[in-house]
Structure formats: C-alpha cells, structure tokens
Amino acid sequence: MSADGTMQDSEQTERPTLAASPPIDTAATLARLRDWVEIETPTGHAEGINRLMDRAAEAYRRLDGEITRLPGRDGQGDHLSIRLPWTGPPDQKAQAEGGPDGILLLCHLDTVHPVGTLAGPLPWRVEGDRAWGPGIADMKGGTCLALAALEALYDGPRRTPLPVHVLLTSDEETGSPTSEALIREAAEHAAYVLVPEPARNGGKAVTERKGVARYGLETHGRAAHSGVAHADGRSAIAELARQVVAIESRTDPSRGLTFNIGRIWGGTADNTVPERAGCRIDVRMVSPEDAAEVDAWLRALRPHDPDVTLTLEGGLNRPPFQKSNAIAALFEHARGLAAEIGFTLEDMASGGGSDGSFVAAQTAVLDGIGIEGALMHTHEEHAMISSIAPRATLLRRLFETLE
C-alpha cells in the first residue's frame, strides 16, 4: 500500500504470507512484560527509566539495531533512537542520504504510577486471561508487542519493503516536553507512523484523538490578618473559586469540548486572607478551530475583584488528531491484515492524546494498536494476555506489507 492508500502491483503479487515469520511466543513476551513492568518508571524518575532503557537497548542490540542514546535533560530519562539496518530495500545503504521514507514506531516507557505502586496498590499478578501492573497497558504492553514482532521478523525473512525506525521516549505522560522535537524530526522521514498505545474498547484502533491543552491560572490578592484586618485583605482563593466555576461551565459535551480543573492550591494559614492561589486546567477539543477559541477565551479572563490580578500560562500541548484520507487508508489496510490473522479490527476516536498527535496532520498515523487493556492510569490497570499474539502479529504484518 502506498501512502495515498492505493494498492501497488508488488503488494498484490509479492506480499509476504502470514506464515512467513515465526509465530509470536506469548509466554516469552509475557515474561519480558513482567520484567519491564517490575521496573517502575514514572515520568521524571530518571533512574528507573534509564534502567529500563538499558533493557530495551540490550534487546534491540540482539536485533543488530543501530542505537543512538539521547541523554535526558530537565530531570527526565534518556530516549533511544533505533534503526534496523536489515529492514527496507536491500540497496538502502547505497541510496541518497535519508533513503526511502520508512515506518516510524513510537513507544514510551514512562508511566503515570509513582514509585511504590508495585509494592502497594498495583502489584504484578495474573488471574486467568488478565495481567495487572503499573503501566502494563499504557504502554509497556504495546512496546513489548512491537519488539516481539520485530524479533519474529529478525528470526524469519528479515527484509521489509520499508526501513523501520524505533523511537523509545521517556516523558510522554507529561506531554513529551523533551521528546516532541525528536518525534517531529523523525516523522519527517516516515511514510507511516505506528503507535502501539493500548487498544480501546475491546480491541479498537485509534484513528482520531482530541487535542490537549494545559494551562496554569494564578490569582494574586492581598494578604491580611483574618481577624484583625479582614477587610484589608483581597482573597486570591475567593477569586480563583469564581474563575473555576466559570471555566468548568464552558464544558460542552455536544462539541466534545471539556475543561477540567485537575489541581488547585492556595493560602498560607487558616487565619490569613490568602494572597495567592492557583489551579491547573486541562482542556480537550476536537478541532484546531476549537483550540484557538479556547486559548482566546482563557486569555480574555478578567478578575471579578478589581484588586486581584490573574496570571495565565500554558497553551496547546498536542493538536487534535483528525482522520485524514491517508489515516483512513492505513486503517483499512490494517483491518484487512487483522481479518487474515483471524480477528475483527474496528477503529474509534479517543479523548486522550498521544505522541502520534504531533504528526498526524502530515503523516499517516495508526494508533491504539498495542495490547488490549483497560482502566489505564488507575490501580486496576490490566492487559489481556490472549491479545498478545494476534496484536503482535498485526504489527509484524504491518512491517512486512507497508510500502
């Protein structure tokens, strides 16, 4: 399939068969997943993340990967850029600089779960078809599945129509502040971007995502003794409370537009009129026009109390990810491969952002093709063991057939 969704003669006559590579070893993949889950990697815990990056580098080194380790900055863990020289056309090395556009695999190893979660509310455990653990679905599961798919290729025919570039990042859960530029640069050389974030709602892929904007609002009033000179004070908390009500009221489910005040703080003591207060605002929207409208509205906020001032910082973090013709064609290709494997693949829109959101406007992105799971970001996060083989096989087939 070409980037515009058209079938090419080589695909019709020479596409590798489903049985061309060794099957996925579910037990081995689950064992690796347990090993990776039991290394706790909350965003910003550079020690844990770098230890897991060591594990990943070791695995890709066995696949003859050309590994570039990018040291973390601003307190974040390292990133890994891995190119697999045995993928792509046989004469790839002899081609002009950059070679053919290839497949970019975007994975992140950080989680939202703080250190101690594994020993506390979310230990590794397996019951029937479910395995629990911090980050098991989002997205250590998909990262392990993608590695298993590439191992099957390496142990089988090795050659793919396009070169494969793997990017493992360390800060996706906080908006990718140190990896966004790396992701955008890598996508410039990609015809396709595959993102093995967890499958949704019983195995659905993601072909649309809401945009994500993050803001911080602070109110600055005047401190005073609450008993002796209450009238002299100007409460930053009272002002913030009125702003919070106004902001939350802008939520409009019919437009897919949501405002969420996720954190709030303020004041210094019970008997002091609070001089400062603040909150964090998370906004989700479906279109670039909505993002512009939200930003303009928030920046136009004015205090109810003229003696209190407002300070707003932040903006759009991940743009809306809309289903382009190229994305629709890529999904249809994947759906056909899934049918060959023996399962039905459907797609959906998601309210959460991902690293695919940064590049979906200019590149064909297929997201949510990782492990099936549920209750991500909670103490009940789990993955479905029975999804390991079919989902990893789908990834392998995408590597084998995209051209």
Q: d(Cα 212, Cα 354) in Å, to the nearest integer?
A: 9
- Cα-trace Rg, the chain: 24
- Residue 219 phi/psi, 5-degree rounding, is -115, 140
pLDDT in tens, the chain (403 residues): 554 544 443 444 356 677 777 899 999 999 999 999 999 999 999 999 999 999 999 999 999 999 999 999 999 999 999 999 999 987 655 444 555 689 999 999 999 999 999 999 999 999 999 999 999 999 999 999 999 999 999 999 888 999 999 999 999 999 999 999 999 999 999 999 999 999 999 999 999 999 999 999 999 999 999 999 999 999 999 999 999 999 999 999 999 999 999 999 999 999 999 999 999 999 999 999 999 999 999 999 999 999 999 999 999 999 999 999 999 999 999 999 999 999 999 999 998 889 999 999 999 999 999 999 999 999 999 999 999 999 999 999 999 999 9
Whether residue 310 contacts residue 328, with contact meaning beta carbons closer than 8 Å, is answered with no
How many angstroms separate the CA atoms of 80 and 71, rounded?
9
Whether a cis peptide bond, with omega within 30° of 0, leads into 139 is yes
Q: With contact defined as beta carbons under 8 Å apart, do 154 and 63 qualify?
A: yes
CA distances from 335 to 203, 246, 275, 339, 351 (A): 12, 44, 57, 6, 22
